[in-house]
Structure 1
Amino acid sequence: MRLPYGPNWYAATMGTGIVAVVLPGLPFRVPGAMPVALAFWVAASLLLVTTVAVMLHEIRQDGSLLRRHYDDPVMSHFYGAPAMALMTVGAGAIGVGADVLGARTSVVLGAVLWVAGTLLGLWTAIAVPYRAITRHEVADDSATGGWLMPVVPPMVSATTGAALVPHLPAGQPRETLLLVCYALFGLTVIAGFLVLNQLWQRLIRHGALAPTTLPTVWIVLGFLGQSTTAVHHLGALAPSVVPGYGHALSMLAVCYGVPVWGFTVLWSALALALTVRQVRDGLPVAPTWWSFTFPVGTVATGSSALAASTGLVLFEIGAAVATLGLLVGWFAAAYATLRLFAPRSVLQPEGCKMLVEVQH
């Protein structure tokens, strides 16, 4: 059995890199957090390089591969994953990579990956919905959490872009980047809730998703948690960057974040109940298991952000629970990936050939 390349495999980089982002930002001290975070960032960086290498290899073998994925009504949505993988590794470079790369190099790397991820993310946010409107045949019951993937990258840009603002010259450069990040935040907030409404209607009218796609209900948490994180990081900078109205923007961190956090708790409970129900009936091992990682990690960053804004223990507990869920989800997804590549793939001659192809 040969697992075909697809942009959905970049979710492994996202799911690994988010651990490196979550641990240093927790509102309480965790012994050994920084070395563990650094290890996950290095692993995410290697995964990113490996996945890009596999992609280039597959394109050389089949020049129409990217076009076919873009035309596919399911796979096309996952073109958002490469953009978010780039920015997740970039955020980790700024957050924990300085110890290895040096402060200046880590910021430059983070900036390069942010620009690349932002441009790619803007393309997916426009091109994928356009393709769905003009070419894809979409049934009433086809909505999944994967539909959020192409529109969430600009929100990741807003979050990670906040870390770059202080490194720009004061004045117009900082103001411009800050407001661009707010615009990217607004892009995803509006588009994200439109998609979430479609997913909600699909679940109510047609029941739970198919077993292999059911884990994608967790992707909704990525949209909710990332938006809470973004509005906090941007709001913390706003008073000093745009003093004329920065206070109003800083208040948005709580005025937006707390209500959305409440809905995040609701959706977390719903996603957990649906997943447990499917596990009892049999949950097929699939790449979609990486949906258990990055989205849950953004709930941890969002809860940590609200803890910093309010000082409430409630959000510290939320951050702790989400971080534990992230680690459980990461081990589950890593197990699923090993199951996909190892038993039949590595231990049998055909599988050994596939592993060599993936490594090259």
Structure 2
Amino acid sequence: MQQPQQLIRHFTPNWFTVNMGTGVVALLLSASPLMTAFCEELARILWLANIVLFILFVVLYSLRWLFYFHEAKQIFQHSSMAFFFGAIPMGLATIINGLVKFMPQHLDLAEFLWGVDVVLAVTVAVGVPMLMFVYQQHQLKTMTAIWLLPIVTAEVVASSGGVLLAHLPASQAAMNLLFGCYVLWGMSVLPAFAVLTILLLRLALHRLPEAQMAMSVCLALGPIGTGALALLLLGQQAPRILAACHLVELGNLMHYAGIWISFILLGFGLWWFAIALFTIYKHSRTGLSFNLGWWGLTFPLGVFDLAILNLAQQIQSQALLYIGFSFAGCIVLLWAMVMVKTIQGVYRGSLFFSPCLMSMLEKA
């Protein structure tokens, strides 16, 4: 293993994708329609472990800014690492959702953390694209799906808002939160679809991304799955909340629209899933080396499956329910494989590498 100071010096925000992947697996286990006491306890353990990891990562990254400030700020100019700022609020969102699920008695804390997460998400969703426009250099040929990471943050906290709303009484404040979540959804999903359009053009003109970025294609499922999940969660609460404000017709419309649009989004997601599988298969024939980018598999697939499970429960479809449950089992196995490889990489010290630091040293 590397020396502690070197771990801190090379610590980058892409480590927070571990929180995203671990958190979504905990939520999947707790959302399973065939959940057993074992799955419930395993989900709780994973959620608690995820909190420990999140705190550890926050400490390590804060120490990097404290002791290696000049090197840490190079991330603002780097053409890929800045996108991983989005992993921080998304990792926190999985913890907030788990707090509501496993410790509903601490709802006030969940509301506070959600407010903090909204500020983080909006800052990242707007700030990182501004860095792209002003300080960074980009080309269509080198563009990948990681462009989505900062943008997707707003819809992730919107879906977390839907989880919170299920535990709040119908009131004017709840209505404001509901509409605010729809605004967050709009400032994320629509720009994300614009990025997906650019990604499709990039794939058509410059072929598949290189092997080390092959897993990143799965990130396309993130905004699609989270977009569907947010509409389902918010739409499910809309009739109850808006009825108290004499807007019951609007609430019913939001509910039915959420179900209808989620079907369309899931179909779109299946298309991108096929593209991602083809990309991974194509590169696997020549060999795929493990890196932290493999965590790009778990969260997008996880939120996509959470949307399937929620939709199945709302329309009471047993077939869709079993499809979602089977998919969840595959995701849990995938998470276990990636986690084992990550632990091995941590022990060997091979995963602690800061591209923005290397770029700065090469220019020196």
> 2:141 corresponds to which letter in structure 1?
D
> 2:191 corresponds to which letter in structure 1?
A
Structure-2 residue corresponding to 1:10: 16
Structure-2 residue corresponding to 1:157: 157
**C-alpha displacement of 1:339:** 3.1
Structure-2 residue corresponding to 1:195: 195
Does the Cα contact within 8 Å between 1:228 and 1:305 map onto a contact in 2?
no
> Could you report, residue by residue, the CA deviation over 1:140-169 in whole angstroms, capped at 9, with x for unpaired residues?
212211100001111111111112224445
Structure-2 residue corresponding to 1:176: 176
Structure-1 residue corresponding to 2:264: 259
Does the Cα contact within 8 Å between 1:299 and 1:322 map onto a contact in 2?
no
Which of 229, 240, 254 is matched with 1:249 structurally? 254
1: CA distance between counterparts of 2:62 and 2:108? 24
1:52 aligns with 2:47: no
Structure-2 residue corresponding to 1:322: 327
Structure-1 residue corresponding to 2:300: 295
Structure-1 residue corresponding to 2:117: 117
User: Following superposition, which runs of at least 4 residues in structure 1 exceed 3 angstroms of deviation?
Assistant: 27-31, 166-170, 343-346
> 1:199 corresponds to which letter in structure 2?
L
Structure-1 residue corresponding to 2:357: none
**C-alpha displacement of 1:62:** 0.9
Does the Cα contact within 8 Å between 2:22 and 2:47 map onto a contact in 1?
yes
**Residues matched between the structures, number:** 340
> Could you report, residue by residue, the CA deviation over 1:62-121 in whole angstroms, capped at 9, with x for unpaired residues?
12344321221101111100011111111111112x2xxxx322x233223212221111
Please list every run of 5 or more consecutive structure 2 residues that lacks an aligned counterpart in the other structure: 352-364
SS of equivalent residue, structure 2 residue 69: coil
> 2:162 corresponds to which letter in structure 1?
A
Structure-1 residue corresponding to 2:44: 38
1:137 aligns with 2:143: no
Structure-1 residue corresponding to 2:81: 75
1: CA distance between counterparts of 2:281 and 2:340? 18
> 1:283 corresponds to which letter in structure 2?
L
2: CA distance between counterparts of 1:166 and 1:321? 26
TM (normalized to structure 1)?
0.90
SS of equivalent residue, structure 2 residue 208: coil
Does the Cα contact within 8 Å between 1:299 and 1:319 map onto a contact in 2?
no
Does the Cα contact within 8 Å between 1:218 and 1:295 map onto a contact in 2?
yes
> 2:89 corresponds to which letter in structure 1?
A
> Could you report, residue by residue, the CA deviation over 1:24-66 in whole angstroms, capped at 9, with x for unpaired residues?
2223344522111101101111110110111122112112344
Question: Which structure dedicates a bigger proportion of its chain to helix?
Answer: 2
Which of 22, 28, 31 is matched with 1:25 structurally? 31
TM (normalized to structure 2)?
0.89
User: How large is the RMSD of aligned CA atoms in angstroms?
Assistant: 1.8
Cα distance 1:228–1:147, how it changes in 2: closer, same or farther (>3 A)? Answer: same
> 2:332 corresponds to which letter in structure 1?
L
1:238 aligns with 2:243: no
Cα distance 1:316–1:21, how it changes in 2: closer, same or farther (>3 A)? Answer: same
Does the Cα contact within 8 Å between 1:292 and 1:333 map onto a contact in 2?
no
Structure-2 residue corresponding to 1:354: none
Please list every run of 5 or more consecutive structure 1 residues that lacks an aligned counterpart in the other structure: 347-360
Does the Cα contact within 8 Å between 2:23 and 2:95 map onto a contact in 1?
yes
1:307 aligns with 2:308: no
> 2:304 corresponds to which letter in structure 1?
V
2: CA distance between counterparts of 1:276 and 1:47? 31
1: CA distance between counterparts of 2:200 and 2:341? 27
SS of equivalent residue, structure 2 residue 142: coil
1: CA distance between counterparts of 2:172 and 2:239? 15
2: CA distance between counterparts of 1:40 and 1:341? 19
> 1:239 corresponds to which letter in structure 2?
P
Structure-2 residue corresponding to 1:104: 105
Structure-2 residue corresponding to 1:351: none
Cα distance 1:304–1:285, how it changes in 2: closer, same or farther (>3 A)? Answer: same
Does the Cα contact within 8 Å between 2:14 and 2:292 map onto a contact in 1?
yes
Structure-2 residue corresponding to 1:352: none
2: CA distance between counterparts of 1:175 and 1:195? 31
1:128 aligns with 2:162: no
1: CA distance between counterparts of 2:263 and 2:169? 32
SS of equivalent residue, structure 1 residue 151: helix
Identity of aligned residues (%): 26
